[in-house]
Every structure is written in C-alpha cells, then in structure tokens.
C-alpha cells in the first residue's frame, strides 16, 4: 500500500493552502492555516504518518528563517516525521536543521556542489533522515546557476553513489494540476537506481491513487498530496471534517497551545 503524506507549503511562516471543511467551520480552518504547527497537528489527528513541508520562499528568495523556525516547531509538536524540502546552499545549513530536531531534510543542488559533505551528512544522520528532492521538467533537474540542468536519472544515480536511499520526485507540470502522474515517467525514474521513491504532485482522487498503486514498481512506496487533501477529495475526509465540526469549540479553545507530544526528533533515528 502506498503511504499518503499530506503536504504543507510555507511562505513567510504561513501555509499557502487552507483546509476546506463542512459549512460552519470556515473560521476554524482559516485560523489553523495561519498557524503551521496547528495544521501539522490537524493532519496528525487525521492519522497522517508523515508530513511533507516545502519551504516555498527558499526556491525564489533564499533562506527564510521564519519558515525554518516554523518547521522546527512543527516537528516538536507531532510524533511523526516531518520531512522538509528547502533550497539551501550548504551542507552546514541542512546539518543545523537536523540538529535542531527536524526529522528529515531533502537535499538538491548541494548533492552536486558538495558531494563529500553530503556523504558525511548521510554517514552522521543516516539515509532515512537525509534524502533527496528531484523537481524535474522534461526529465531535467535545474540545480541552479552554479550547476545548471542535470538529467533526472543521472541525478538519482549520483545520489545513490553518495549513499542516498530515498528521493522525492515531482514533475513541474504535475504540481497543483490535479491531472494525475505519468506512470511511464515513474517507471523510468524508479529503474534509475535501487532507491525508495516518494512521488509528489498531481493526485486528485482515489482513482488516481489506485492507478498508481496498481502500476508502479515496488520501490515507489509513498505519495505526497497537497491540493486534493485540502479540498477534501477523498471519502474518509468527510468523516474527519464532520467530527471536527462537532469539536470546533474545543479545538478553538486549545488552538493557541502547542501540544508537546513525544516528538520523534528526540528519538535515536540514525539507523
């Protein structure tokens, strides 16, 4: 079975998307979306086993301290892995995030510009906590001005040689489009190296998930879903939203509290 991972996109410390609930809960979800920690806790209450966070500002504006602080607080507040996609220029920046408690970071261009540093990071924290992000377009990955374009299969093979054992793969044309993912592309990249693969983008319905489940190789074991989760496109979400509507006063009462659960960041996760 594919593991479904809800996505949170951060910009200036706030989530880009707002959860759509049943009528009468608009204020509840609007307020939750203004507070990423509470949004992470919402997905955890709804049985998420991992949360995917994208530091959107880092893709265009460089380092965003407010987003990174928010991710650290999110990890403290939930007892499941938070995996962070952020564009950082040094291995040191990723090490700081791991040392601060973020369970998993996805590295991109630094794998090419500082391969030995990345190798050391994997040796120190393990291949479960240090993974790699592949955001492709027409089978190429843009690794920035200092590197340029690299074929996605070449990049996957490269990170495998460094000790990487998991990648998150998305195609720009899939993102936010709700058009599904191209199975042939998935099969192609899954064959590039024996790594575990998390797909991201494009999923709009249970039918898309079933098609993915029935068609992809075994090393594709999870999928990140954003827009469709926020728009309640899956039957089980109706149950969650109805329950949350009844609990709205209680949720509001505790909305400003960060529940200090048994954060996974406190565990020994090097293996």
- Domain spans of the chain, in order of start: 3-255
Residue 177 clears pLDDT 80, i.e. is over it = no
Q: What is the mean pLDDT of the segment spanning 37-51?
A: 92
- Identify the pLDDT of residue 249: 61
Contacts of 194 (CB under 8 A, 6+ apart): 160, 219
Cβ within 8 Å of residue 176, ≥6 positions away: 201, 226, 227
The per-residue pLDDT for 268 is: 36
Q: Which stretch of 142-146, 152-156, 189-193, 254-258 has the lowest confidence by average pLDDT?
A: 254-258
What helix, strand, coil percent values describe the chain, rounded to 5? 45, 20, 35
pLDDT > 50? residue 16: yes
pLDDT in tens, 100-144: 999 999 999 999 999 999 999 999 999 999 999 999 999 999 998
pTM metric for this prediction:
0.88
Mean pLDDT value across residues 211-240: 89
How does 51-78 read in b/e, with b if 16+ C-beta sit within 10 Å?
bbbbbbbbeeeeebeebbebbbbbbbbb
Q: Is the CB of residue 173 less than 8 Å from the CB of residue 181?
A: no
**How far is 252 from 240, CA to CA, in rounded Å?**
16
Domain covering 3-255, topology: TIM Barrel (3.20.20)
pLDDT of residue 257: 55
> How much is the pLDDT for 248?
64
| Digit-coded pLDDT (tens) for 215-229 | 999 999 999 999 999
- The pLDDT mean for the chain works out to 87
């Amino acid at each position: 079975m594919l593991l479904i991972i809800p996505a949170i996109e951060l910009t200036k410390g706030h989530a880009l998307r707002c959860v759509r609930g049943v009528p009468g809960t608009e204020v509840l979800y609007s307020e939750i979306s203004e507070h990423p920690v509470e949004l992470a806790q919402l997905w955890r209450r709804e049985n998420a086993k991992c949360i995917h966070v994208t530091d959107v500002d880092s893709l265009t504006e460089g380092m965003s301290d407010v987003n990174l602080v928010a991710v650290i607080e999110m990890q403290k507040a939930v007892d499941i892995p938070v995996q962070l996609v952020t564009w950082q220029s040094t291995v040191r920046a990723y090490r700081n995030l791991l040392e601060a408690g973020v369970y998993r970071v996805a590295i991109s261009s630094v794998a090419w510009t500082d391969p030995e540093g990345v190798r050391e990071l994997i040796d120190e924290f393990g291949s479960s906590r240090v993974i790699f992000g592949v955001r492709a377009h027409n089978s190429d990955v843009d690794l920035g001005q200092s590197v340029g374009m690299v074929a996605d299969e070449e990049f996957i093979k490269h990170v495998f040689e460094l000790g990487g054992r998991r990648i998150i793969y998305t195609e720009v044309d899939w993102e936010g489009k709700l058009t599904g993912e191209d199975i042939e592309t998935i099969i192609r990249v899954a064959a590039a190296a024996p790594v575990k693969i998390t797909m991201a983008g494009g999923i709009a319905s249970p039918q898309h998930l079933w098609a993915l489940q029935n068609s992809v190789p075994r090393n594709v074991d999870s999928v990140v879903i954003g827009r469709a989760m926020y728009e309640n496109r899956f039957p089980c979400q109706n149950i969650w939203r109805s329950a949350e509507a009844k609990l709205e006063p209680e949720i509001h009462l505790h909305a400003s509290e960060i529940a200090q659960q048994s954060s996974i960041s406190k565990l020994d996760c090097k293996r």
